[in-house]
Amino acid sequence: MTGVTTAAAEPAEPQPDAPTEAGTEAGTAKPRRARGEQTRQLILETALRLFRERGYAETTMRVIAKEAGVAVGNAYYYFDSKEHLIQGFYDRNQAAHHAAAGPILATEKELAPRLRGVLHAGIDVNAPYHSFAATFFKTAAEPTSPLSPFSRESAPAREAAIAIFREVVDGSTAKLDPELRKELPELLWLGWMGVVLFWVYDKSPGQRRTRRLIDGAVPLIDRLVSLSRLRVLRPALRQVLALIETVRKDD
Amino acid sequence: MTGVTTAAAEPAEPQPDAPTEAGTEAGTAKPRRARGEQTRQLILETALRLFRERGYAETTMRVIAKEAGVAVGNAYYYFDSKEHLIQGFYDRNQAAHHAAAGPILATEKELAPRLRGVLHAGIDVNAPYHSFAATFFKTAAEPTSPLSPFSRESAPAREAAIAIFREVVDGSTAKLDPELRKELPELLWLGWMGVVLFWVYDKSPGQRRTRRLIDGAVPLIDRLVSLSRLRVLRPALRQVLALIETVRKDD
DNA sequence: CACACCTCTTGAACATGTTCAACTAACCGC
DNA sequence: GCGGTTAGTTGAACATGTTCAAGAGGTGTG
């Protein structure tokens, strides 16, 4: 849970401003008025609830506004577009994934189970939103969208996600090539994006095919990572790393 | 079910309007149908041209209709939605890719250059539509959309695409594990989807990063395919194939 | 207190994808 | 030729995301 969640049972309390301005929230300035933040949260909560209840496309901005008891234009004062409401969902699930991964990362020390646990935790967290996620995935896929996982706007969220996989690697007992170790977290995150992609398309009951994919792919990755220390595979590994380097240039 | 776009085996060329009802129909008289088909083509041509000229989002259905000289409702008689116009683009580029790959496949006999040639040909064909493709990709990404490359509706197009990669493999001199040989075309197609994904997000001038990705990835794939015959890697290969098998179950 | 200012709120207006009932015209059976 | 059937066509009407000029309400300053 982030500290932002609750829909505030308390009326705006004399909490005028924290000792430090500590406005680590998304971008915009953080003046002393808390009233706006309350409205913002109200709109976001309402929107996410409606998305879950009736789906993204079926939830109109007018309904969100009406249900939240504000004018439609007010929603646009806080969120640039309907899509931007999704960012809230995004951030929240990101945090939930991190929290859910905690226990496994604290317990397990071997690479494979760590990775497996983190991946399953990610699916667990997202499971309740599978049908909704499918529709909103569409907007996230648009390259020009700020919601794209590769966009500059979602860089913080992306970094946070990669950090989870860095913890998977760094906290493990696995011995691996130092250069590979450096790149592995991002590669694993990329793999995770692939799993999510697969999951979004997975129509099997309970998305069990995705579970099977994870269970099958993790040992494979584990094996490949181990094999990468073999002499025969050294040039191939170098080739992979060089490719990553080359492709990454001028972005 | 085939017969989506029958005579589409040619590279996409503007093809100025056929002489208006001159000698259009010969023996197989479907004059009734022919008129509709003509309108359909006219709308599609107009739409694709406008998409290229001004982008997908910026091209309104009203403008398409006006430019084509028909009523807006008429476009909806032939195409279920604006997105469905994209299917035309899809089919056409698929055919163009096949055509563009022809010379390389006829000339080259080694796996790596064959694959490289086919991939570059694919990018060549799509290059003029890069900015438009980004938006189109958004639509294709939606799992419920018939335009998704994984949907049942696009199975024919998908099969056609995989067939290109089957030709890449089968026509090559490369010696490889028989089971791998069976799976490789689909895997390469999946890789091609990945390249397309990368390309869509590639904002470098002329999408040169994608070119570099291809040039870097092809030798790597080539090397891995060769290495797969090594004894040490035999179990890993089996593991990969088993994973594919497992995941594919109940779809 | 008056005034200015700034955050926040409003709802009508606008743009665009989509639908629909009505209309036209070519064809077919008589 | 006549009436009916059906493919083809129309444009107004509708739904929804988004914008915008105007106003409300509080906060600080003179």
pLDDT of residue A101: 93
Q: Number of H helices and number of E strands within chain A?
A: 10, 0
**Of A91 and B210, which is predicted with more confidence?**
B210
pLDDT of residue A94: 87
Same domain, B114 and B225: yes
Q: Supply the Cα-derived Rg of chain A in whole angstroms.
A: 21
Residue among A48, A243, A220 at smallest CA distance from A119: A220
Q: What is the mean pLDDT of chain B?
A: 81
Has residue B125 got a pLDDT over 70? yes
Verify whether the Cβ–Cβ distance A223 to B242 is below 8 Å: no
Same domain, B19 and B137: no
Q: Which domain holds residue A203?
A: 82-250
Name the band, by pLDDT with cuts 50, 70 and 90, for residue A251.
low
Same domain, A69 and A116: no
Same domain, B129 and B219: yes
**Of B140 and B200, which is predicted with more confidence?**
B200
Percent of chain B scored above 70 by pLDDT? 86
Same domain, A121 and A204: yes
Question: Which of A78, A103, A136 delimits the end of a domain?
Answer: A78
Q: Which of A178-182, B47-51, B133-137, B155-159 has the lowest mean pLDDT?
A: B133-137
Dihedral angle computed from the Cα positions of residues A122, B217, A239 and B209, in that order, rounded to the nearest 10 degrees: -90
Same domain, A87 and A47: no
pLDDT of residue B250: 67
Has residue A17 got a pLDDT over 60? no
Q: Is A41 on the interface with B (CB under 8 A)?
A: no
Coil, helix or strand at residue B176: coil
Same domain, B67 and B89: no
Has residue A104 got a pLDDT over 50? yes
**Count of domains observed in chain B:** 2
Name the band, by pLDDT with cuts 50, 70 and 90, for residue B24.
very low
For residue B151, what are its two tokens? Answer: 């949907």
Same domain, A59 and A166: no
Question: Which of A52, A78, A104 delimits the end of a domain?
Answer: A78
Verify whether the Cβ–Cβ distance A209 to B135 is below 8 Å: no
Has residue B5 got a pLDDT over 60? no
Has residue B16 got a pLDDT over 70? no
pLDDT of residue A12: 33
Same domain, B72 and B177: no
Has residue B71 got a pLDDT over 90? yes
Mean pLDDT confidence for B68-82 = 95
Same domain, A73 and A106: no
Question: Which of B47, B78, B109 delimits the end of a domain?
Answer: B78
Most B CBs within 10 Å: which of A132, A152, A209, as the mutation test of the B interface? A209
Give CA separation, A229 vs A95, A196, A232, in Å: 34, 29, 9
Measured in whole angstroms, the distance separating CA A229 from the mean position of its chain's CA atoms is 31
Same domain, B42 and B111: no
pLDDT of residue A179: 85
DSSP helix, strand, coil percent of chain A (3-state; round to 5):
65, 0, 35
Our CA-based measurement puts residue A134 at a distance from the nearest CA of chain B, in whole angstroms, of: 6
C-alpha B40/C-alpha B81 separation (Å) is 13
pLDDT of residue A250: 67
Has residue A50 got a pLDDT over 70? yes
- A206: domain CATH number is 1.10.357.10
Q: Is B231 on the interface with A (CB under 8 A)?
A: no
Contact between residue B109 and residue B171 where contact means Cβ atoms under 8 Å apart = yes
Q: Which of A131-140, B17-26, B105-114, B219-228 has the lowest mean pLDDT?
A: B17-26
pLDDT of residue A169: 93
Same domain, B230 and B210: yes
Which nucleotides of strand D come closer than 7 angstroms to any CB of the protein? 7-13, 15-21, 27-28
* Nucleotide C15, nearest residue via CA and C1': B60
- B49: domain CATH number is 1.10.10.60
Has residue A13 got a pLDDT over 90? no
Has residue B165 got a pLDDT over 90? yes
